[in-house]
Amino acid sequence: MWRVFGLLVLSGVWLWAQQEQNAAVYRVSGVVVNTVTGEPVPRALVDVNVPVERKRADGITEFNAKRLAVMTDGSGQFSLEGVPAGRYAIGVRKPGYITEWEYRARPQQQTEVGPGAAGSVRVVLVPQGVIAGHVTDVRGHGLAGIMVQVQTSVISEGKRTWQQAGVANSDEDGEFRVSSLKPGDYLVRFGPMAQEGLFERPEMETGMPVEYWPNARTATAAGVVSVRPGETFEADVALREQRLLKVEGEVVGVPEGDGGTACQILNEDREDVTLGQNVVRQEGRFSLRVAGPGSYTVDCRFFGEIATPYRGQQRVQIATSVTGLRISLAPMGELPISYTLENVAPDGPGYRDAGVAPTLTLRRVGSGESYSSQQPPVKVGASPKPAFQQVEPGTYWLELNNYGNYYLASATFRGRDALREPVTIEPGQGGRFDVVLRDDAAHVAIKLEAGGAEGMQAILAVDELRAVPPRVLPYGAGLGEAVLAPGRYTLFGFNPEFLNHVEYANPKVLEKYSGQTVTVSAGEHKSVVLNLNQEER
């Protein structure tokens, strides 16, 4: 008897499963239940992908995947026939439900099949939730045609962001309903909307501004809606009608060539809240509308067949209609990077003449948006000239990607310290990043103490001296040490799959987990022992 390895496709995830080379097959039976009520779930689709051996004409043996599937009966029971011995992920799905591993954000559970394995499998489904409600004006009259967006909480690179999860329009009575929502936290956004007849009777122009449940103008101030499995959350709201305010002006600096210019009004969350037309007329004039006063940004762009986009912005505080704005467009060109390598370590890697520039990243504050430096082709023997290309206006942290034993010793942009404070990029703004890299980084050997710590894990390094985002370092498969700039850090060990769902950019969240603080100097070598964090606390 000999063993081979087959590649299985299990619920869209590739994994290797060890399979006995024999003709024995088994039955996998069990029940699918509702995790809230404990009742069986009828008419759920249960499937599993099993390996199938095929010998090619040239004598080579291939292993493909064969899908076995059945529906549960009226009592939630199922039985899959012809499953070879091995370890499998049993898939199950039904409209209105999600799997428990999707709900818990954990790896899918494996089921052992073969001699001596458990005879019955219990598979759990989690019922999805609903957000419904009634949209009225302040007099209690239902409002029809109001767009309602439901935004879900997503963790991206340790930061909590909000992405659209569902959308609906209120009916003639002002009622709305968004279903099939994964249990969790949501924001509910209403509007904006202009009343019918916009621009036809200027003296009657009114509309509804963007509003978040229960009564907030921005996502930052919004109330969080918690949807539990199988429950309906009632998100009623009363919107206050407001007169539309004009925002008018001209766009200058428009490049020659085919194309067009468009302007929009952004709120403090950088959401487009423009009502009505936003196309700039031939002579460069624009006339926009926004519902209600506030702090806004007028953002204009040229769209055309040009290599470099053009962009212009102006922040405005709007209390009444605003006219006479002048938005200057400028090319979103490159931000060059000048770097110096200081090879001070006696056994450093010697990248000075390697011809490969370091890769730097600009990571936007408050979101997962980032830009990596680009290195255009250079002639043999010439120095590389990296640069950031077409960076959107905003505020960013500067980071160094893995570059051997080097670390960022210093960095400046337009005379400001880009290492210890974020940099602000303005539309059309030039400037150069001047960075110094040293090759005498500190090395911290790390040992993880926890069950199941084999293989690839992740180390989270939090810089205690600089307010920079935490860094995620790979661990395992020969990568059992962290390469760090001199300083003081708190190190955490995490299961990578679990870390993807931890808001680790929030210091208060990290207080829940086990870590160890270490101080290192240039060229120093240290060792630490960390506990593996792999469960929510």
Q: Do domains 244-331 and 334-438 have the same CATH topology?
A: yes
The residues pairing with 237 across neighbouring beta strands, listed in sequence order, are 135
Q: What is the pLDDT of residues 187-208, one digit of tens each?
A: 999 988 875 444 444 555 788 8
Residue type present at position 364 = R
pLDDT (mean) for 262-270: 90
Domain residue limits, the chain: 3-127, 129-240, 244-331, 334-438, 442-533
Q: What is the pLDDT of residue 533?
A: 86
Contact indicator for 318, 245 with CB cutoff of 8 Å:
yes
> Phi and psi of 352, rounded to 5°?
-55, -40
C-alpha 234, offset from chain centre: 28
Q: What is the dihedral of CA 443, 449, 455, 457, to 10 degrees?
A: -60
pLDDT at 111 over 70: yes
- Greater pLDDT, 246 or 454: 246
Q: Which two tokens stand for residue 489?
A: 């850090």
pLDDT value, residue 337: 92
Which ranges in 405-514 belong to alpha helices (H)? 496-499, 507-510
Residue 483 pairs in a beta bridge with 443
CATH number of the structural domain 334-438 = 2.60.40
Q: Which CATH superfamily is domain 244-331 in?
A: Immunoglobulins (2.60.40.10)
Give the number of other CB atoms < 10 A from CB of residue 446.
21
Average pLDDT, the chain: 84
Per-residue burial over 144-154, b = 16 or more CB atoms within 10 Å of its CB, e = otherwise: eebbbbbbbbe
Secondary element (H or E) of residue 510: helix 507-510
Fold exhibited by the domain 3-127: Immunoglobulin-like (2.60.40)
Question: Which is higher by pLDDT, 319 or 120?
Answer: 319
Report whether pLDDT(449) > 60.
yes
Tell me how far apart the alpha carbons of residues 329 and 267 are, in angstroms, rounded to a whole number: 20
Q: What is the residue whose two structure tokens read 């948006």?
A: 369
In this structure, what is the dihedral angle of CA atoms 446, 451, 455, 457, given to the nearest 10 degrees?
-60
What pLDDT is stored for residue 211 in this prediction? 93
CB atoms closer than 10 angstroms to residue 262: 16
Question: Look-up: residue for tokens 């006339």?
Answer: 287
129-240 has which CATH code?
A: 2.60.40.10
Cis bond before residue 192 (omega within 30° of 0)? yes
CATH number for the segment(s) 442-533: 2.60.40.1120
* Those residues with Cβ within 8 angstroms of residue 127's Cβ, 6 or more apart along the chain or in another chain: 34, 35, 36, 96, 97, 229, 230
State the Cα–Cα distance between residues 388 and 357, nearest whole angstrom: 13
Helices (H), 82-208: 100-104
- Cα 330 to Cα 111, 260, 299, 301: the distances in Å are 60, 15, 12, 9
- As a whole number of angstroms, the distance between CA 45 and CA 78 comes to 9
Residues contacting 104, CB < 8 A, separation 6+: none
- Given pLDDT bands bounded at 50, 70 and 90, which one contains residue 13? very low
**529 closest CA partner among 519, 513, 518:** 518
H helices present in 52-156, as ranges: 100-104
* pLDDT attached to residue 498: 83
How many C-beta atoms surround the C-beta of residue 453 within 10 A? Answer: 17
Whether 66 shows a pLDDT value over 50: the answer reads yes
Q: Alpha helices of 226-322 — where are they, by DSSP H? A: none
| Its pTM surpasses 0.85 | no
Planar angle of CA 371, 373, 378, nearest 5 degrees: 150
- Residue 6 in this model has a pLDDT that exceeds 80: no
pLDDT (mean) for 125-137: 96
Q: What is the pLDDT of residue 157?
A: 82
- In what order do the strands lie in the sheet containing 310-318? 259-266, 294-304, 310-318, 330-331
Alpha helices by DSSP H, listed for 160-285, are: none
Q: Could you give the count of Cα atoms lying within 13 Å of 280 in the half-sphere of its Cβ?
A: 23
Tell me the C-alpha distance between 256 and 435, whole Å. 36
Q: Quick one: pLDDT band at residue 451, thresholds 50, 70, 90?
A: low
At 417, which amino acid appears?
Answer: D
pLDDT in tens, 23-37: 588 999 999 999 999
Q: What is the per-residue pLDDT across 402-444, written as a single tens digit (0 to 9) for each?
A: 777 889 999 999 999 998 899 998 877 789 999 999 989 999 9
Lowest mean pLDDT among 190-194, 354-358, 476-480: 476-480
Mean pLDDT (whole number) for 164-187? 95
